[in-house]
Amino acid sequence: MTVRSIIAAASAVVCGSVALVSAAPVTVELSTGETLKGEFVSRGENEAVFKSDAAGVVSIPAGNIKNIIAADGVASGYVATGEPGLFGTDFLAGWSKELELGLTGTNGNSDSITGNAALRFATDNDEYRATAGAWYFLTNNNAGRSRNEARVYATYDKYLNDIDPKLFIFVRGQYDFDEFQAWENRASLYVGPGYDFIEKDNYEMTGRVGLGATQEFGGADDDFRIEAFLGVDGKWAIDSNQTFGYSFYYYPSLENLDDGRVVSHVHYTADVDKAKGLAVRLGVENVYDFRTKNSDADHSNWKYYANLVLKF
């Protein structure tokens, strides 16, 4: 897989997604008696994103909307709707969907180009919460490929509402590929309890503790390990256009604690154009593997990115 093919495929998805975005002209009557004329950008459970010539793009809480008058004059109250399906279908309806693209390069005594692409999906309701996604990193330089990595992951949280609505049981699966690691392919699966420690309008923090296993294959090492999983992740909505997210996951081997690894990830997202679902995201990930024996520097695998994000 080359950077050119990644960009071409992602561009096709972006163009197709943008072409499917449509907005309906309406008049919104607010509970204050004011009215706004314009178009809906999106409509969710608790608020609507609305675009008008006078006010630009604004988020309106559902409780502040008295009436919505369509172009044909029909009036109705606020009706919450979830995320639309993919490309106008029911597939992934109710899931948030994001495509990320990033590309950097250098030219001179040493030429190199690094590209990365990611897809992320998420949904949350009263019964369960789920996230899934995939990303790919590739670096080419004068000597050839120096990075070729991919990851596919999914997490499912089933709320235990009868016991505590913040308590849940999770299942997490992950597949990693790295051409330049001794293991090359790694598949992992974990299960255990989790808890939503903080649930505020602008801040969330969740913890998970579980047991599972990892199988490495396809490279020089084909190890199988029973592992624990300890993780914490969260999100801070700085304001209506900016968010900061983080995750810290520790995977200790139950056979030998020196065989563990820690995966840390932080990212910042800023909306550029809410009406078109465009944003920028800056992020850093570090994988610290205790099993690496050569030197302290070899323990860490860092990834940095600055991506364009399309929410569709």
Asked whether residue 46 falls in the same domain as residue 187, the answer is no
Question: By residue range, what is the domain housing residue 30?
Answer: 17-76
If one compares 31 and 96, the residue with the highest pLDDT of the two is 96
Residue 25: how many CA atoms within 13 Å on its side-chain side? 5
List phi, psi (to 5°) of 175.
-125, 130
| Residue 45 pLDDT | 58
Asked whether residue 38 falls in the same domain as residue 183, the answer is no
Asked whether residue 48 falls in the same domain as residue 156, the answer is no
pLDDT digits (tens, 9 = 90+) for 39-86: 777 666 567 777 777 777 877 776 677 777 776 665 555 555 566 777
277, 311 contact by CB (below 8 A): yes
Cα–Cα distances (Å) from 8 to 88, 125, 148, 180, in that order, read 22, 35, 18, 25
Q: Which of 26, 54, 76 finishes a domain? A: 76
Give me the chain's average pLDDT, please.
Answer: 83
Asked whether residue 155 falls in the same domain as residue 230, the answer is yes
| Any domain includes 129 | yes
Asked whether residue 47 falls in the same domain as residue 172, the answer is no
Asked whether residue 50 falls in the same domain as residue 193, the answer is no
Distance from C-alpha of 70 to C-alpha of 32, rounded to nearest angstrom: 19
| Residue 63 pLDDT | 65
17, 52 contact by CB (below 8 A): no
| Any domain includes 11 | no
Sheet of 47-52, strands arranged across? 56-61, 47-52, 35-43, 25-30, 65-70, 75-76
Query: Averaging pLDDT over each range in 2-6, 77-81, 134-138, which range is the top one?
Result: 134-138
* Percent of the chain clearing pLDDT 90 (strictly above): 52
Distance from C-alpha of 266 to C-alpha of 245, rounded to nearest angstrom: 6
| Residue 167 pLDDT | 98
Cα–Cα distances (Å) from 72 to 41, 67, 103, in that order, read 19, 14, 46
| Residue 251 pLDDT | 96
Q: Which of 48, 76, 104 finishes a domain? A: 76
| Residue 215 pLDDT | 95
Residue 80 DSSP one-character state: -
pLDDT digits (tens, 9 = 90+) for 279-291: 999 999 999 988 7
99, 119 contact by CB (below 8 A): yes
**Structural domains in the chain (count):** 2
| Any domain includes 146 | yes
259, 225 contact by CB (below 8 A): yes
pLDDT digits (tens, 9 = 90+) for 242-257: 999 999 999 999 988 7
If one compares 186 and 65, the residue with the highest pLDDT of the two is 186
If one compares 190 and 294, the residue with the highest pLDDT of the two is 190
pLDDT digits (tens, 9 = 90+) for 193-208: 999 999 998 999 999 9
Residue with tokens 């993780």, as numbered in its chain: 231
Asked whether residue 71 falls in the same domain as residue 88, the answer is no
| Any domain includes 230 | yes
